[in-house]
A and B are shown apart, each in its own frame.
Chain A
Amino acid sequence: DTGVSQDPRHKITKRGQNVTFRCDPISEHNRLYWYRQTLGQGPEFLTYFQNEAQLEKSRLLSDRFSAERPKGSFSTLEIQRTEQGDSAMYLCASSPRASGNTDTQYFGPGTRLTVL
């Protein structure tokens, strides 16, 4: 068990470019979440997958954002036509099957995006 991994760790891009981030969850974790964290704030929920199905999306996830999880393993988050306001840390978390009224999420190191 190597934990949740994310790639790249840092990404600098110019406004208007497209970027894609990858998340590899802990093996056998069927639940995967994406969050966004801006400076001085706590993470905010973006979207949730159970296996390959994207079951919930935040209103923060504009139509420039798209996320996939083919085959229920790794996930990608793509941002099209990036804007300076997209600059943030993008965090991925995974969890095993829920137990009782909750699940416990394990976070990756994040991808820091800077849009110039």
Chain B
Amino acid sequence: GNSVTQMEGPVTLSEEAFLTINCTYTATGYPSLFWYVQYPGEGLQLLLKATKADDKGSNKGFEATYRKETTSFHLEKGSVQVSDSAVYFCALSGHDSGAGSYQLTFGKGTKLSVIP
């Protein structure tokens, strides 16, 4: 079945540091890949996505590249801010099960804390 593995947290960085959160996946077919972010007390928000190999998703200074050869979708940001403190979830959407569902399979999440 589908699965997502992301690096264990928590991760603590100083402001303006470089961020990498590793994510690897196992899936049949050609999944789409997502990063969602959950700020304290809020719901999941879509951060970025990529739908095919070598696609790069980007948003708010965050980037991730769909690497089929290494089955990875690592999240990066060149200079983090205190406001980036949140929990980050990597997810994949498998191919249509035949019922029209593109259910998401999530990793366990990585908590990021950025200190001034």
**Interface positions of A (Cβ within 8 A of B):** 4, 31, 33, 35, 40-45, 48, 50, 55-56, 58, 91, 93, 95, 98, 100-110
Contact = CB atoms under 8 A, between A and B. Distances in A.
B62 to A, nearest CB: 16
Interface stretch (B14-22, B67-75, B90-98): B90-98
Give the secondary structure class of B's interface: loop
Contacts, number: 75
B114 interface: no
A35 B95 CA distance: 18
Interface size range on B against A: 20 to 34
Contact of A91 (B43, B93, B101): B43
Given A41-B109, A102-B51, A56 B99 contact: yes
Contact of A42 (B49, B89, B97): B89
Nearest to B99: A55
16 contacts: A42-B89, A42-B108, A43-B106, A45-B103, A48-B99, A50-B100, A55-B100, A55-B101, A58-B103, A95-B102, A101-B52, A101-B95, A102-B51, A103-B93, A107-B45, A109-B42
